[in-house]
Amino acid sequence: MTAREEVDSLYRELYRLSRITARSFPFFYSKELHERIKKVAGKLLEKARNAEIPEEMLENLRETVSIFLNILDRMKAGKLDLFSQLSVYGLGEEIFSDMKRFAEERDFQETLKDFHEICDIFFDEPVTESELESVKKVAMEFLPKIYERFFSELFSDLNEYLKTVNFSVLEEHGHQTGKVYFSLKNFNVLCFVDNEVKRRPARISILKKILHECGHQLNFFLTTRSELPVFMKKPLFATGFVGQELIACAFERFWPEFESDEEESRYLEIHSRIHGLKVFLKAYPVYLYYTQGPEEASRYLYNYTGNRYYLGKEFRNWLEFTCRWKLSEHSNLDWWTDSLVRFWITIKSEEIPLGNLKKLCRGIWAPKTFMKISGCSKAD
């Protein structure tokens, strides 16, 4: 066996053990399994050093393994809270400081004012047969352009590529083993409520959703068709989730190459800002509440949102909710972690210089190595 083959085979073994661990996370801890994993991981890292693997991939391997070992330590300690959940994604408290920076770069009152201004334009789903047809027509118009831009090197012709695209009226948009699925129901129409109600396909929004899934698709094809080591193709736990989503979200930013509509892009921009601030206002004070106490949480919220919000019903509801909420017991912990992580991914994908995206598309990267290669964060 060559050194590379040995690395691949040790990683496959670690992957198998991670599947067993993931199935029992966070309920069952086995000392024996833990010991076995540590042994395989140690051997793997040692072999990898002598296998002529590029340094950044080695770094990716070290990060992936260390996230996995960290999860085992948390299982051993018997702790389940938001931070253990975040560690499954390879993330930690930095998620909160990034959210804080995002929010503080935006003025809360200004954003509210903008939002009220666009309130008579809103998103909705297609509801009639002819609306479903019209959103599909828009999607079909974008697909050849996207093929030309990203897939023509991978597929010899458009028809071959279109076999990887499926439309339905049910389900979510998604990607699986090279195929993308679009739900016509989950595309948007824009509704202008002025003196009369006008509905039309939300072209930029449809385009962004297509680009997102195409980002996943491209990442999949470039990875599986490559000669990369197995550890660059199969993530342990959810360690690859963040990197994969960051790529897909970064792809959404290509939309101006294909479409321009000032009104809709302004609407989308304000809408995503207000959505971001809403997630922030729920998550950040909870974080402060648990790390620095209720006074600090209140003080922060007061300073950030201003007097009116502080005295308003939403704040009182939030306070009541937070007081009753325990990070360690909350039954929606999975959902809560997932939405925090997704929001963080949206923020961070904005910072990735697109020039570095090509490199990251080949392989599945753990969060910190991804960030370092992407050029949007300092190495730590």
CB nearest Zn ion: which residue? 248
Euclidean distance between CA atoms 124 and 138, whole angstroms: 16
Q: Which is nearer to Zn ion, 252 or 264 (CB)?
A: 252
SS3 for 233?
Answer: coil
Q: 187-246: which residues touch Zn ion (CB under 5 A)?
A: 245
Q: Which is nearer to Zn ion, 9 or 339 (CB)?
A: 339
Neighbours of 30 (CB within 10 A): 15
Rounded least distance, CB 229 to Zn ion, Å? 24
Rounded least distance, CB 57 to Zn ion, Å? 23
Options 44-52, 108-116, 248-256, 361-369: segment touching Zn ion (CB under 5 A): 248-256
Question: Three-class SS string for 156-200?
Answer: CCHHHHHCCEEEECCCCCEEECCEEEEEHHHCCEEEEECCCEEEE
Q: Which is nearer to Zn ion, 349 or 369 (CB)?
A: 349
Q: Which is nearer to Zn ion, 63 or 245 (CB)?
A: 245
Query: How many residues bind Zn ion, per CB under 5 A?
Result: 2
**Which run of H or of E encompasses 22?**
helix 3-24
Q: Rule CB under 5 A: is residue 361 a binding residue for Zn ion?
A: no
Q: Rule CB under 5 A: is residue 248 a binding residue for Zn ion?
A: yes
**Which are the contacts of 119, defined by CB distance < 8 A and separation ≥ 6?**
none
Q: Which is nearer to Zn ion, 8 or 245 (CB)?
A: 245
Rounded least distance, CB 173 to Zn ion, Å? 8
Rounded least distance, CB 220 to Zn ion, Å? 11
Euclidean distance between CA atoms 314 and 211, whole angstroms: 35
Which amino acid is located at 334 in the chain? Answer: D
Euclidean distance between CA atoms 282 and 24, whole angstroms: 30
Rounded least distance, CB 212 to Zn ion, Å? 6
Q: Which is nearer to Zn ion, 85 or 217 (CB)?
A: 217
Contact criterion met (CB below 8 Å) for 344 and 377: no
Give 198's strand partners.
192
Rounded least distance, CB 169 to Zn ion, Å? 20
Residues that bind Zn ion (CB under 5 A): 245, 248
